[in-house]
């Protein structure tokens, strides 16, 4: 898969670094002011990041949407700032087609849609028009209400089938099959037991035939297993990412680039034996 100017063959684990140009993302150190985007992007690049994922609206549980015009403004400025210093692949974390268009026009290379094409029906056409990859994520509900008593009879079966439907819908709307990445949506309308089951059996999603992205970094599920402050969740994050990678995840989305890059190189070494 080509993302921007770079080829991703998924023979190793790729690291996607989180950059939030917001004031309210759940992990404060991930919040970056526009004036600091260039510096932060260079820091991530030096640490070995493969893709930078820019978000301008928090999708943490209970979050409210921001004004779409403000999201577009932040995304445009952030992408242009990174493009001033690097051709690193840039992903736009948004479910709005107009924001995606603004980011792609500014120089971004792919879309990360937490709704998996559900919130804005025009998003698939954006992918087709710009011929860019898209991450289709599973979510139950919306960021505002997704953690209000989510329930599954069989989480693996239900998430698998929903992702399968998203792939079929995307292709029907013109998205190339070779441009689709899937994300089971850890923490997006899931209970702790659901998240653990998805990670433990992530290999089952490989039969969908698409690269799997996983986003576990510093999420609250960690403190439900062992109570701890968000600032203390790095080691558990690396442990979960290691398990996910060995179960088939090809992209891990993280706040802490360097630590996870080092861990994933060890996973690559073991998986390559």
Active site residues: 219, 253
Selection from 201, 178, 135 nearest residue 2 by Cα: 178
Distance CA 132, CA 109 (A): 6
Under 8 Å between Cβ of 146 and 189: yes
Dihedral (C-alpha) 127, 129, 132, 136: value to the nearest 10 degrees? 10
Q: Are 216 and 199 in contact (CB under 8 A)?
A: yes
User: 214-228: b or e for each residue (b if 16 or more CB lie within 10 Å)?
Assistant: bbbbbbebbeeeeee
257 exposure class (CB count in 10 Å sphere: 0-12, 13-18, 19+):
buried
Q: Which of 143, 175, 142, 182 is nearest to 159 (CA)?
A: 182
């Amino acid at each position: 898969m080509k993302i921007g100017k770079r080829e991703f063959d998924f023979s190793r684990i790729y690291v996607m670094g989180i950059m939030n140009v917001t004031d309210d993302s759940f992990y404060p150190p991930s919040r970056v002011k526009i004036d600091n985007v260039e510096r932060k992007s260079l820091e991530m690049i030096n640490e070995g990041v493969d893709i930078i994922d820019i978000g301008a609206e928090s999708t943490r549980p209970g979050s409210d949407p921001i004004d779409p015009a403000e999201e577009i403004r932040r995304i445009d400025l952030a992408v242009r700032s990174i493009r001033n210093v690097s051709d690193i692949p840039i992903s736009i974390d948004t479910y709005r087609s107009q924001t995606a268009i603004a980011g792609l026009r500014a120089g971004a290379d792919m879309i990360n849609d937490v709704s998996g094409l559900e919130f804005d029906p025009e998003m698939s056409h954006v992918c087709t028009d710009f011929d860019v990859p898209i991450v289709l994520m599973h979510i139950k509900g919306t960021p505002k209400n997704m953690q209000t008593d989510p329930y599954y009879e069989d989480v693996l079966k239900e998430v698998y089938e929903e992702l399968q439907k998203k792939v079929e819908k995307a292709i029907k709307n013109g998205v190339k099959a070779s441009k689709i990445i899937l994300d089971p949506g850890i923490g997006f309308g899931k209970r702790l037991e659901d998240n653990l089951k998805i990670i433990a059996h992530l290999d089952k999603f490989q039969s969908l035939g698409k690269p799997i992205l996983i986003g576990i970094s510093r999420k609250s599920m960690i403190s439900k297993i062992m109570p701890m402050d968000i600032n203390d969740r790095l080691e558990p994050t690396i442990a979960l990412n290691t398990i996910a990678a060995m179960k088939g995840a090809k992209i891990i989305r993280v706040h802490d680039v360097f630590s996870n890059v080092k861990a994933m190189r060890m996973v690559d070494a073991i998986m390559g034996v």
